[in-house]
Structure 1
Amino acid sequence: MAMAATHILRGATAHADSPAIYVGDDTLTFQQVNDRANLIAHHLLAAGVQKGAHVALLVNNGLNSVPMDFAAIKTGVVRVPLNARLSLDEHAAMVEGSRASVVVADASLIERATELAGRIDGLQILGLGAQAEGIADLLEPADGPIGEPDVELSPDDPTLLLYTSGTTGKLKAVIHTQGSYGAICTNILANLLDPRHDSVMLHAASLIHASGTFVLPYWVRGGASAILPGFEPASFAAAIARYRVTEINLVPTMFAMLLSTGVLADADLSSLRKVIYGASPMPAPVLERSIEAFGPILAQYYGQTEAPLVIAALDEQAHADRSLWGACGMPSTDVELTLLDDDGREVPRGEIGEITLRAPFQMAGYFDADELNAATFTPDGWIKTRDLARFDERGYLHLVDRTSDMIITGGYNVYPREVEDALASHPGVAECAVVGAPDEKWVEAVTAFVVVAPGAQVSESELIEHVRGLIAAHKAPKTVHLVEAIPKSAVGKILRRALREPLWEASK
């Protein structure tokens, strides 16, 4: 099993003078990226950050994103990426929950890092191109040549601790190792992409999410990564021509925004070879318009943080068959996958069961969560995904539902319990429930139902702003319905499905 660190060194050696990273007007070659990664690694080790240390990363998309990730992999430290969109409270919970002892921040986020240091005793702050008093900069030039870090690594060494919410909204962190992260690279190359020396992938989504997993496959094959600070339709469309982009990776919300703004009408898309999408269900009208705009070059992947990136894929040829729109696709060549009933027995083809899998790219487990690991792994190491699906007669996998009530809005996972807890903290809220409603822009919109406390007076806008003050803005409800009662089961459990289904039925 090739480790992530092995892939990095092989790519740097094989493609040294080729362009590897484009950011704005700046270009870094493979050798320059590797040299910068080694410089960061040198400073990490000099600062006492040794193999196995948990290092939280507050790093936005930029010229140093990839070198920072590579440096962490080379030194054997465990990356804990923090989404810059989250609140201070959420960041603090992640740093403490992951037992991170260090935070590395770029110039745009160094202030948040110092806020965290003020709340968490003993937290070490390091800058990444950030000039701040009393904070060492990992990009400070070295006194002499810097070689590869002298750190012994093995496939079982943890390299990434990536947060994903639990079914109850409680934070949980997935552990990936040098081996599993290397296998993610191999999985993408075997099942989704075949980059060449002249290939360029455009990244607009945060590199801490799925977008970042594409960097290493391109690196190994000599392809480049063009990195944008974020997604804005006009600049995204212009970047395709500017960098002669051959592949793009989008979530359905991004397609909807590109189509609705009309930026594709005059865009030069002639360099594109493949358009990839995933992360959330693609509405059929959006898919149809996207194929019209880009041509018959769309492919879909289905995966999870626990098993990234490609559990199943629906290729360009399959998209020609409209009956397959909405399918996950064919299981990947490097995954063992079965559908099980509640008793752990394989279901017949056509019937619904829980997707259960085993693959070299699966997580090592959840960090510091013995009970959750026991519930997730079978005794022989298979992962129970909590996703329900069925196989059709041709062997295509179709996702049916989630065993949890997760909402995917704009490509981000939102769990109702977290939003409900924020709503319930308002004194005017007696009861509440949160579900996902269909939305043309966001695919699913966070929608709340609230029973107002006796004698209280609250407005929709007041409740939305209250939630925004407690958790990330993208998790706040887009709509709040004030109702007389919340439907419940005989044992008092909130029936979210009873709230959700009428919203979806009304949209048909």
Structure 2
Amino acid sequence: MAGAVDMHGQICLADGADFLNSLNDGKANAVLYDPCQKKGAYDILKGRVNMECSNKQDNIKVSCADVPSLQLIIPCVINGKGAGNSLLEELKHEKESLVVDNGPSFESTFLCTSGSTGLFKLVSFKSKCSLDFGHHFAQALGVTQESVLLNDRQLGRIAGYPSLTFAVGCTRVIIDSSVPQSENYARFYWDVIQREKCTVAIVGNLLLQNLICETSRNLHREKRLLKSVGVGSGPVNKSILKAIGTVSETVTAIYASTETLIMATCRLTSPNEEFDDFICGLPTPGTQIKVVDNRMNELPVGHIGEILVKSSLLCSGYINNIKANADTFLSDGWVRLGDRGFYNSKGQICVLGRGKNAIMHGGLVVYPEQLEFRIERCPGVAGTAIAGVPDAKRYEEICALLVRQPDVEAVTEEQVRQFCSKHLFLNDNNVESNPFPKHYKFVDALPVLASGKLDRAACKRLAAKLVCVREN
């Protein structure tokens, strides 16, 4: 806001290697940290930097061999616990103002990818691109200056970055990530919507499904619906229609990525609307999408292939990652995101998921999202993750990780197996061409990334552990 480049330094690894890597990639000069946070940036840096003072409540000049560019670490108290005022209190009493005009082409922001294909990468954006994204996003969700937007996505990710507020001036409600999550997060999220009088929300697929269950049970007590809810973080299925009239007046399916921002949307206004699994709608203005085969030849309607995108909202590229830039951004302007999908007869793009998530089951290539959506229709099943586990005969066997619905009679493995046998495929006898899950394992919760997407790598490890096989 004062002219600096802001970047997100995510910390997922216990030793902080991912955080240090992002600091080096972005050539960070300063780190803002919460001195009250345990195992945060300060704890990672304090053993690696030379400090001019030891009071972690003050700005500290530093030198660091691991991050040569680092010069300063700055405390930023988020929740006001301990010494010092909170960030919000400091801002309320701040009288000095600073305006820096860096222009629309200024590289203003480094955001991280979701990490769904491994460790996250830093992506660079110019000022104009961030604002244009906010305007596109506002138009897709019907957000105006009068809207009250609830978004619990992290500020350092594109879905959580305050582009909407910058673009249209709407009120943004943020859930403090340092506060321990409620056991029933959907209940907590819905309570925030009611208390803050939110009109729009942005959620991930898993949270929306839980909100549908929560609001369906408690709608007789709570009449305030959102005017609009945007859902993304992976392929969507027709169950999102249940959110209309229970969670929100309308639902918008969003196809977006950190690299190309918002690419396609589908706005739904009736629970009886015609809508099929995986539909993400029509390409947004300024976006071109095509589906190609392995030789980059464009495929006709209905044929599954790799999705390529051209976008007017394209990022400036990955920071300090030559190979990823070469693999992702093609010389003719098209971008490879690793997604698979197809166009339907209405000109809508349907996204099946990441090609890297595919399971090699004998002679078949199985996309887990296709099975997950169908198995989740089984009564008593609240969530599903499909993972491949090593198998000597078929290369990978299929394991279904299952979460039971609360407050209903507990569904059994045999019931889910029978449901799959009856409803998944037309011919349930041909096991070679019908990829039925061989293993069914119930878990308390599915592993997710900070972005709200399924953590596919963690699901794969969990499935291998529960099935008692050794991963290759």
Could you tell me which residue of structure 1 aligns to residue 385 of structure 2? Answer: 444
Q: Deviations over 1:410-441 (max 9, x none)?
A: xxxxxxxxxxxxxxxxxxxxxxxxx8884755
Aligned residue runs from structure 1 range 297-376, under 5 A: 297-308=250-261, 310-317=262-269, 320-376=272-328
**Residue 245 of structure 1: aligned partner:** 198
> Aligned equivalents of 2:113 and 2:383: distance in 1?
22
Q: Provide the aligned C-alpha RMSD in A.
A: 4.0
- Report if the CA contact (8 A) 1:126-1:137 is conserved: no
SS in 2 for 1:293: coil
Could you say which residue in structure 2 is the equivalent of 1:272?
226
CA displacement 1:348-381 (0-9 Å, x = unmatched): 2222232222222121111111122112112132
The 3 A distance-change label for structure 1 pair 156 and 338 is: farther
Aligned residues: 365
Q: 1:126 aligns with which of 74, 87, 91?
A: 74
Structure 1 residue 75: Cα displacement: 1.2
- How far apart in 2 are the matches of 1:92 and 1:382? 31
Structure 1 residue 225 corresponds to structure 2 residue 166: no
Shift of 1:137: 9.6
C-alpha distance in 2, partners of 1:143/1:251?
36
The residue correspondences of 1:145-164 to structure 2 (distance < 5 A) are 145-150=95-100, 152-164=102-114
1:216 pairs, out of 152, 163, 167, with: 163
- Given residue 283 of structure 2, which amino acid in structure 1 is its aligned partner? P
> Residue 183 of structure 1 aligns with which residue?
132
- In the superposition, relative to structure 1, how do residues 250 and 165 fare at CA in structure 2: closer, same or farther (>3 Å)? closer
Question: Do 1:377 and 1:384's aligned partners in 2 also have CA atoms closer than 8 Å?
Answer: yes
Match of 2:335 among 374, 383, 389: 383
Aligned counterpart, 2:208? 255
Deviation at 1:136, TM superposition (A): 12
Gaps of 5+ in 2: 50-63, 65-69, 360-367, 393-442
Percent identity, aligned pairs only? 17
Shift of 1:177: 1.9
Q: 2:243 aligns with which of 281, 290, 294?
A: 290
Which residue identity does 2:385 align to in structure 1? Answer: E
1:187–1:334 Cα contact (<8 Å) kept: no
Match of 1:106 among 30, 34, 37: 34
Query: TM-score, length-normalised on structure 1?
Result: 0.61
Code of the aligned partner of 2:77: G
Aligned residue type for 1:358: K
Length-normalised TM-score, structure 2: 0.65
Shift of 1:306: 1.1
Match of 2:440 in 1: none
What is the alpha-carbon distance in structure 2 between the residues aligned to residue 338 and residue 311 of structure 1? 12
Mapped contact 2:289–2:308 kept (Cα < 8 A): yes
Contact 2:135 2:168 in 1 (8 A): no
User: Are the structure 2 counterparts of residues 291 and 449 from structure 1 closer, same or farther at C-alpha, using a change threshold of 3 Å?
Assistant: farther
Using the alignment, how far apart are the partners of 2:153 and 2:114 within structure 1? 17
Q: Structure 1: 5+ residue runs without aligned partners?
A: 1-70, 408-434, 452-463, 487-493, 495-508
Question: Would the aligned equivalents of 1:264 and 1:293 in 2 still touch at CA under 8 Å?
Answer: no
Residue of structure 2 equivalent to 1:423: none
1:219-244, Cα deviation, whole Å (9 max, x unpaired): 54342112223562223222222222
Normalized per residue, which structure has more helix?
1
| In structure 2, distance between residues paired with 1:136 and 1:207 | 21
What CA distance in whole angstroms lies between the structure 2 residues aligned with 1:375 and 1:156?
Answer: 25
Q: Tell me: CA distance 1:145–1:118, structure 2 relative to 1, closer, same or farther (3 Å).
A: closer
Q: Which amino acid aligns with 1:149?
A: V
* Maintained 8 Å contact 1:389/1:398: yes
Q: Which residue of 1 aligns with 2:22?
A: 94
Following the alignment from structure 2 to structure 1, what is the Cα–Cα distance between the partners of residues 218 and 297? Answer: 48
Three-state SS of the structure 2 residue aligned to 1:315 is strand
Kindly provide the amino acid, as one letter, of the partner of residue 223 in structure 1.
C
The question of whether the paired residues in 1 share the 8 Å contact of 2:112 and 2:120 is answered with: no
Q: 1:120 to 1:380 in 2, by over 3 A?
A: farther
User: What amino acid is aligned across from residue 138 of structure 2 in structure 1?
Assistant: L
- Tell me: higher relative CO, structure 1 or 2? Use CA pairs within 8 A at least 6 residues apart: 1
Partner of 1:115: 43
Greater Cα shift, 172-181 or 231-240 = 231-240
Q: Distance in 1 between matches of 2:111 and 2:358?
A: 21
CA displacement 1:319-347 (0-9 Å, x = unmatched):
74334343111111221222222222222
